[in-house]
Chain A
């Protein structure tokens, strides 16, 4: 049963780490405009990711024997918060670091761990997550991409779509059917690690309405995988995916997607000395909500530290957080409309324009608003 979350402070010993990250970002992201910062975990920069790897900041919670740093989830929270707050281009490594490495650590064989995880921690190996298909969006259990066992391993056919960053990645961890039929729903699904350089794999970037190509369609035509492409247990893919979502849905990226806009706008307010009641009230309301969301996200982090799998609590944070991220865009846009004489920089307008266009995806990606609320309802005992 889902219950309320208690306050947890960021442990004080994380402060030194934050200072170190900040110094690095200040040096690395000189003159980086807000509208680029707004892209953040949709902005790819392999070189930047490798730099983080050199710093030992990828795979932060991964044990040292696999190339990680063996640090706590709070360290990871601080790092993620600093990267997102500064709008660093983290897309290249984001999913490998957040989900793939922890997943392989948890469900992989020793051999898989040794093979895949160290390059992730070095920022040399990037992963994407193959979930949606052309005919399977929110109804994920209806997927049709199938891997049939053969003498060499698995023969894969089908396609995935809306896969974030697939065209820049080395591997995909895909949820595919390995046994049974579509009617079996959750039964018979497995997770496979697919080397995207194999023959038979075609990637087609999809241009989004902001002019970027942040997601792709990926086709598999008789792709021959070795037997050890299977991660975890055959037929247990659904359970594994759900455990993984606790990592995906709880983090500060569900609070800070529009933060570049808030920072850019409030900087302009200060420059033009806007201090009136209504503007202050709007700002204060947003800050209060941001603080509460940060506290909720930290409370979920505490559950990860305690070894729990807070998938439902993470859905609360994501649904609530994306609502805030979208509200921020609406409110600032509406404020600008109400103040036509306010001098607006091109950077602010580009930032707003990007977020207005792509902000609609915040409550779609990683589970739609409606799906998340269904999960919460189940957690509350309504389903």
Chain B
């Protein structure tokens, strides 16, 4: 885990994606300073080949960069941008300046006008890569009508584009779905990161908060819950690391399905134990825990949650005629059968 990319990203994000910055951006504050810092890190082009002035790294190489992004609940679509730039480059498209998010779901087209519902990071992204059936657009958020769509502090938004903007933003036609897996990959690794951070906070609080004359972490009832949380946090991290196992920039679809399934289901336990241990302070605006758990709850369903991705995995398995063990070995560990 402690590779140099992680250390570099962790160090940078500790400085630039602070709870203060996150709160400010959630209130609608400016995003430019944070985005500039992220861009200077160079990771935005990590997956681009060297011939395109990228770092020529694989998804596997940079998984911990995305994990760290989740740990600091970066309020911009940084992870998505890394993947989006790799996709645009692979398709021979021009890569725009600024951050890019994905909208593979909930896109409505009436005439040529477009509405993207509950677009993740819709409030803070510069661009949206969207797909409806075979049509793919690269849409500027600056030219959209933006209406916040989520609960308090959410960065998601309903975005509407006029026919004129939509028409000039059309990139072309792709027969298969392009962004579903890329978004789910990002969200699953981000979940694992935010869960890791919520766990650190929970552990620290359990050791520090004193009731009945001793730290509450000394009570067995809490130890049992925190141990279970640890299992879920380690499991989510493992799923995320596996989702990034790839020898190029592209994730393997079955691994994404596994990871989004698993990380999404892990959220309920992780979030509930974090809050159970923290008590009332955990739900205050002033305390940082909610910055992580609010996102975890959203991300669990965003881009397809447990039921969506687990069904994909289950159908793939049923169609395979392999035993369960062989399916797991082959589809999720890339072992020859």
In the complex, what residue of chain B is closest to A9 when comparing beta carbons? Answer: B333
Q: Is the CB of A285 within 8 A of B310?
A: yes
Q: Is the CB of B306 within 8 A of A285?
A: yes
B200-234 with Cβ < 8 A to chain A: 203, 206-207, 217-218, 220, 222-224, 226-228, 230-231, 233-234
In the complex, what residue of chain B is closest to A294 when comparing beta carbons? Answer: B328
Of the candidates A7, A275, A285, A291, which one forms a contact with B328 in the assembled complex, judged by CB atoms under 8 Å apart? A291
Shortest Cβ distance from residue B149 to the other chain A in the assembled complex, whole angstroms: 25
In the complex, what residue of chain A is closest to B237 when comparing beta carbons? Answer: A4
Shortest Cβ distance from residue A378 to the other chain B in the assembled complex, whole angstroms: 8
Tell me, yes or no, whether A292 is within 8 Å of chain B by CB.
Answer: yes
Q: Is the CB of A284 within 8 A of B309?
A: yes
Q: Is the CB of B241 within 8 A of A7?
A: yes
Q: Is the CB of B315 within 8 A of A280?
A: yes
Shortest Cβ distance from residue A181 to the other chain B in the assembled complex, whole angstroms: 27
Chain B residues, CB < 8 A from A275 = 315, 318
What is the bound-complex CA distance between A280 and B317, given in angstroms? 9
Q: Of A194-202, A213-221, A259-267, A359-367, which binds chain B?
A: A259-267
Shortest Cβ distance from residue A105 to the other chain B in the assembled complex, whole angstroms: 30
Q: Of A65-73, A228-236, A347-355, A368-376, which binds chain B?
A: A368-376
B252-271 with Cβ < 8 A to chain A: 257-259, 261-262, 265
Shortest Cβ distance from residue A120 to the other chain B in the assembled complex, whole angstroms: 27
Chain B residues, CB < 8 A from A376 = 227, 230-231
Given known A263-B324, A280-B314, A376-B227, contact A291–B258 (CB-CB < 8 A): yes
A243-275 with Cβ < 8 A to chain B: 256, 259, 262-263, 266, 269-270, 274-275
Q: Is the CB of B318 within 8 A of A283?
A: yes
Shortest Cβ distance from residue B237 to the other chain A in the assembled complex, whole angstroms: 5
Given known A15-B336, A266-B317, A292-B235, contact A81–B325 (CB-CB < 8 A): yes
Interface bracket on A: 35 or more
Given known A291-B328, A380-B230, contact A6–B203 (CB-CB < 8 A): no
Tell me, yes or no, whether A210 is within 8 Å of chain B by CB.
Answer: no
Q: Is the CB of B230 within 8 A of A316?
A: yes
Tell me, yes or no, whether B150 is within 8 Å of chain A by CB.
Answer: no
Q: Is the CB of A7 within 8 A of B242?
A: yes
Chain A residues, CB < 8 A from B218 = 382-383
Tell me, yes or no, whether B164 is within 8 Å of chain A by CB.
Answer: no
Of the candidates A3, A295, A382, which one forms a contact with B223 in the assembled complex, judged by CB atoms under 8 Å apart? A382
Q: Is the CB of A374 within 8 A of B223?
A: yes
Chain B residues, CB < 8 A from A372 = 227
Q: Is the CB of B314 within 8 A of A282?
A: yes
Tell me, yes or no, whether A139 is within 8 Å of chain B by CB.
Answer: no
What is the bound-complex CA distance between A292 and B227, given in angstroms? 17
Q: Is the CB of A373 within 8 A of B245?
A: no
B68-94 with Cβ < 8 A to chain A: none
Of the candidates A3, A262, A280, which one forms a contact with B310 in the assembled complex, judged by CB atoms under 8 Å apart? A280
Tell me, yes or no, whether B40 is within 8 Å of chain A by CB.
Answer: no
Tell me, yes or no, whether A225 is within 8 Å of chain B by CB.
Answer: no
A274-314 with Cβ < 8 A to chain B: 274-275, 277-296, 299
Q: Is the CB of A373 within 8 A of B227?
A: yes
Shortest Cβ distance from residue B332 to the other chain A in the assembled complex, whole angstroms: 4
Q: Is the CB of B196 within 8 A of A373?
A: no
What is the bound-complex CA distance between A374 and B227, given in angstroms? 8
Shortest Cβ distance from residue A230 to the other chain B in the assembled complex, whole angstroms: 35
Chain A residues, CB < 8 A from B196 = 4
Tell me, yes or no, whether B307 is within 8 Å of chain A by CB.
Answer: yes
Tell me, yes or no, whether B313 is within 8 Å of chain A by CB.
Answer: yes
Of the candidates B265, B332, B333, which one forms a contact with A285 in the assembled complex, judged by CB atoms under 8 Å apart? B265
| Interface of chain B, main secondary structure | helix
Chain A residues, CB < 8 A from B242 = 7, 291-292, 295
Tell me, yes or no, whether B296 is within 8 Å of chain A by CB.
Answer: no
What is the bound-complex CA distance between A81 and B231, given in angstroms? 22
Tell me, yes or no, whether A97 is within 8 Å of chain B by CB.
Answer: no
Tell me, yes or no, whether B238 is within 8 Å of chain A by CB.
Answer: yes
Of the candidates A259, A262, A274, A319, which one forms a contact with B231 in the assembled complex, judged by CB atoms under 8 Å apart? A319
Of the candidates A283, A295, A382, which one forms a contact with B317 in the assembled complex, judged by CB atoms under 8 Å apart? A283
Shortest Cβ distance from residue B212 to the other chain A in the assembled complex, whole angstroms: 15
Shortest Cβ distance from residue A338 to the other chain B in the assembled complex, whole angstroms: 16
Tell me, yes or no, whether A176 is within 8 Å of chain B by CB.
Answer: no
What is the bound-complex CA distance between A2 and B69, given in angstroms? 23
What is the bound-complex CA distance between A43 and B257, given in angstroms? 36
Shortest Cβ distance from residue B188 to the other chain A in the assembled complex, whole angstroms: 10
Tell me, yes or no, whether A320 is within 8 Å of chain B by CB.
Answer: yes
Of the candidates B220, B308, B328, which one forms a contact with A287 in the assembled complex, judged by CB atoms under 8 Å apart? B328
Q: Is the CB of A373 within 8 A of B228?
A: yes
Q: Is the CB of B224 within 8 A of A281?
A: no
Chain A residues, CB < 8 A from B312 = 280, 284
Q: Is the CB of A287 within 8 A of B230?
A: no
What is the bound-complex CA distance between A381 and B196, given in angstroms? 16
What is the bound-complex CA distance between A286 and B132, given in angstroms? 31
Q: Is the CB of B328 within 8 A of A383?
A: no
Tell me, yes or no, whether A377 is within 8 Å of chain B by CB.
Answer: yes
Chain A residues, CB < 8 A from B309 = 284
A-B residue pairs, 3 tightest by C-beta: A280-B314, A284-B310, A284-B313
17 contacts between A and B (CB under 8 A): A4-B196, A4-B237, A5-B238, A7-B238, A9-B335, A262-B324, A275-B318, A280-B310, A280-B313, A281-B310, A284-B316, A287-B324, A290-B324, A291-B242, A292-B238, A296-B235, A319-B228
A interface list, Cβ under 8 A from B: 2-7, 9-10, 15, 81, 85, 256, 259, 262-263, 266, 269-270, 274-275, 277-296, 299, 316, 319-320, 323, 370, 372-374, 376-377, 380-383
Extra 14 A-B pairs, beta carbons < 8 Å, given A287-B328, A294-B328, A295-B242 = A5-B234, A10-B333, A10-B335, A85-B323, A263-B325, A266-B317, A283-B313, A284-B310, A289-B265, A293-B235, A294-B333, A373-B227, A376-B230, A382-B206
